Chains A and B, each alone.
Chain A
Amino acid sequence: MRRREFLGGLGILSLGFEIGCGPSPIVKHARESGTFAPNAWVSIRRDGGVVVEVDKVELGQGVTTLYATLVAEELDVPIDAVETHYADSLPAYRTSSGMQLTGGSTSTRDGYLPIRKAAAAAREMLVGAAATTWGVPPAECRTEGGFVIHGGDRLAYGALTVSAASRPVPSSPNLKPRSAFRLIGKHGRRVEARAKVDGTAKFGIDVRVPNMVRAWVLHGPVFGANAISVRSDKALALPGVLDVFAFPGGVAVVAEKTWQAIAAARVIEVTWDRGVVAGLDTEKLRAAARADTSRGDEQLQTTKGNADKAIANAATKIEAFYEAPYLCHASMEPLNCTVHVRGKKVEVWAPVQSPSVVQAAVAEVVGVSPEDVLVHTTLAGGGFGRRTHADFAVQAAQIAKRVGRPVQMTWSRESDMTQAQYRSINFARMRGALRADGNVAGIDVHLLGQPLLEESIAAFGDALPFPRAFVDTIRGLMATNTLPDLGSLEGFDNTYEVEHRRIAFTPIRTKLPSYFWRAVGPSFTCFALESFIDELAHAARVDPFEFRRRLLPVGSRARRVLDMIAPAWSAPKAPGVGRGIARITYAGETEVAEVVDVELVAGRIKVRRVHVVVDCGLAVNPDIVRAQMEGAVIFGLSAALDQEITLANGVVQQRNFDTYPVLRMFECPEITVTIVDSGEAPTGVGEPGLPPIAPAVANALFALTGRRLRRLPLQKELDVS
């Protein structure tokens, strides 16, 4: 039995189907291959090798090291002894809302116990097998370095694989107590790093399949344009060029080699239609949002108390309008996907965040069922949400369907930026008021932006584990403003105790797709709220740190994290330095507070220092938590200072890193990360460090200049006047 089929079988087992008589699949597999695989994640070979199937994509967030750490910990083997393998798309791995999915900073939170249990179950069965061999109670045995040990007797795991397989799989194996951890919570090296420094790491773009051809794609100037006519005679005459054809959304140039396809693409003449967003103009969207002061037909997320009345009766009233542009992910590895259509079976190799979404989308293109699409997930050169979408896999499948040989499709950087799934443009009308005693009387938020949840549900389509009718009903309720779009609105609460609060949303519906971007809703809502809180603090003449502290519940994690950043907030600072603070309760679980020091040098915003305090429960690998905070701060700074996607008459104006800049080393601040020592269950760290950086910088600039910048990116806003 091949491993894949075997694992597919386990998936069925885990769904509760009964298997008839005869040896169980686990026993059969052990007898035939010598490998003991008690579940879909952990297996032990006859030679003692421990393998963990990583059913998440490695985007740089460290999930490979996470899985290796958890398995090595529970199996009592050195971490270097654990081989990691990226899992294919199989039913057993549909563990994230019924899908195989990496996103939302959930891998650590969701995997922490199940992966440990998977390893602990294996350990318990190995110990049981050894104890039976020796005729001693299992409780008298211990494990170390890949051996079960009893007194002077030792048996290697590899020698126990067949006997362990026939033991019952414990449903709740004993987990190691925290006091016995050797690896969890300790500094450790990333297990996949070596391949990333010697050039052997294989990303999607590095996939090589026998007989494979390459496809380069031309996209129209306007998003989603289709070709009306294609002149390709010159291109087809070039060596290596196999085919040039239009497909929905682009023109494929197929050649033996990528450089041949790129050279051919230059001499192809395409007439494009007006695309799906003809006429869309970000300046017009801005004007419309500014003019929209209507009340009454919004989606309501929260009404607590009576914000209108509280604000009307208050001593001091403040109103402010915040804005942020469309953004694109611009992962370093451009979008790519390798597809082979063989009759009714399809194989896909790609850096994707959701193999399940890809299976469903590709199946629809090719006309097979999702189970006939096997997805091999590769290393991904960044993702940031972009790779949960299947649009690029759909294009690759459309091309592969016609070509017949395996096709590796690569998008140019220009396509990556102009045919993106964008973080929505956002606007927030914030109203708030202070009572005479300086406390907050009420806050009223009106968010305008593209409805993220509504649109992403459409993007996930058939991959969602719900009947179509149910999905359609949910979308219908959002479309009629009956259900609030909680994806867009996330983050306006932020643990602050405000007696009167109203949070509302007006969807802006365009045909430009909006999508998950690192930190999702709070990538904007935190900017608007944390800037506005700062405005309220200054109006109340209260220190911004102290103002926030008063609004946070006594004894809360949020308040503890804020208190821990107090030294950074009150440290002496040089003249010419502005200091700002912002914080977030991310997804109700991870707490982050940031303090930044900012200077202006010849008009350029220079962020000198960033202090981060994070409470993510138990930090399974503290150095990776630190790296994620550093990365999120830098990713967030690129957006806070410089990035924007603008459209003029449907055409995206930014096409490469010259017009969509990414922070470079000479502007990278010094970043200090403090992790709260916590015994709580681990929570996500990939996104939470991002949202506070933009408001912290804006607040620092206010402290420095007295100017309140309410629009991102900040440098452009600063330059306007």
Chain B
Amino acid sequence: MKLEINGVSVEAAVPAETPLLWVVREEAGLTGTKYGCGRALCGACTVLVDGEARRSCVVAAGDVAGKKVTTVEGLADNGVLSALQEAWLAENVPQCGYCQSGQLMSATALLAKKREPTDADVDAVMSANLCRCGTYPRIRAAIKRAVTALVGKP
């Protein structure tokens, strides 16, 4: 089947029911998207499908044919980090970092929907992503920082 991942067309010889997670990791070779639970419980595998945050461990590859998939590798623009990625660095968010691709994808989907999310919006969306290292306070701060950077721009 043919998939579009980060704007690149990827040909994958996999059964349609294969979880998108493994197609991204092993067929497209994009290892930033992580396996954490396999059951849509942790968010480590979060990617965007047509802009929506989806847990790729439970999305069948066959269901995203013809749709645009974005992974963490697709957030930066020619090496220029997104406002969220920059904010993540400024707030020293990552500890082990394993959950952070998923966190960034969820946050990216959130800001795409709401330019200025409330604390409750942030909690609601970001609670889908577990962080065992406990970086939540910094994720909150980083989202605020990114919003300021984005909204402050002309």
Tell me the A residues contacting B by CB distance below 8 Å: 58-62, 189-190, 192-203, 205-206, 208, 257-259, 262-263, 330-334, 379-384, 410, 412-413, 623-624, 627, 630-635, 656-658, 662-666, 668, 670-671
Q: Flag if B96 contacts A197 (CB, 8 Å).
A: no
Chosen A-B contacts, 9 in total, with CB atoms closer than 8 Å, are: A259-B14, A381-B98, A382-B95, A627-B95, A631-B95, A631-B134, A656-B41, A665-B123, A668-B137
Select A199's contact among B18, B23, B31, beta carbons within 8 Å.
Answer: B31
Select A332's contact among B44, B76, B88, beta carbons within 8 Å.
Answer: B44
Chain A residues with Cβ under 8 A from B71's Cβ? 199
Interface secondary structure of A, over-half rule:
loop
Contact A197/B134 with A206-B31, A665-B123 known, Cβ cut-off 8 Å: no
In chain B between 15 and 69, which residues have their CB closer than 8 angstroms to a CB of chain A?
A: 15, 18-19, 22-23, 25-27, 30-39, 41-42, 44
Tell me, in angstroms, the Cα distance from A259 to B89 when the chains sit together: 33
The 7 closest A-B pairs by CB, nearest first: A199-B32, A381-B98, A634-B134, A60-B96, A60-B95, A196-B97, A259-B22
Q: Flag if B42 contacts A632 (CB, 8 Å).
A: no
Contact A259/B23 with A197-B94, A198-B75 known, Cβ cut-off 8 Å: yes
Give the total number of A-B pairs whose CB atoms are below 8 A apart: 179
Tell me the B residues contacting A by CB distance below 8 Å: 14-15, 18-19, 22-23, 25-27, 30-39, 41-42, 44, 71-73, 75-76, 81, 85, 88-90, 92-101, 104, 122-124, 126-127, 129-140
Give, as a whole number of angstroms, the nearest-CB distance from A386 to chain B.
Answer: 11
Give, as a whole number of angstroms, the nearest-CB distance from B58 to chain A.
Answer: 13
Chain A residues with Cβ under 8 A from B136's Cβ? 634, 663, 665, 668
Give, as a whole number of angstroms, the nearest-CB distance from B87 to chain A.
Answer: 9
Q: Flag if B18 contacts A263 (CB, 8 Å).
A: yes
Q: Flag if B37 contacts A258 (CB, 8 Å).
A: no
Tell me, in angstroms, the Cα distance from A50 to B93 when the chains sit together: 26
Q: Flag if A666 contacts B31 (CB, 8 Å).
A: no
Contact A190/B134 with A200-B32, A413-B36, A657-B41 known, Cβ cut-off 8 Å: no
Chain A residues with Cβ under 8 A from B126's Cβ? 665
Q: Flag if A633 contacts B95 (CB, 8 Å).
A: no
Chain B residues with Cβ under 8 A from A332's Cβ? 34, 36, 42, 44, 96, 98-99, 130-133
Contact A196/B133 with A190-B92, A627-B95 known, Cβ cut-off 8 Å: no
- For A194, give the chain B residue with the smallest CB separation: B89
Q: Flag if B85 contacts A198 (CB, 8 Å).
A: yes
Give, as a whole number of angstroms, the nearest-CB distance from B129 to chain A.
Answer: 8
Contact A258/B26 with A200-B32, A666-B124 known, Cβ cut-off 8 Å: yes
Chain B residues with Cβ under 8 A from A630's Cβ? 134-135, 137-138
Q: Flag if B23 contacts A205 (CB, 8 Å).
A: no
Q: Flag if B92 contacts A193 (CB, 8 Å).
A: yes
Q: Flag if B92 contacts A189 (CB, 8 Å).
A: yes
Q: Flag if B85 contacts A379 (CB, 8 Å).
A: no
Chain B residues with Cβ under 8 A from A193's Cβ? 88-89, 92-94, 97
Chain A residues with Cβ under 8 A from B137's Cβ? 630, 668, 670-671
Tell me, in angstroms, the Cα distance from A59 to B88 when the chains sit together: 18
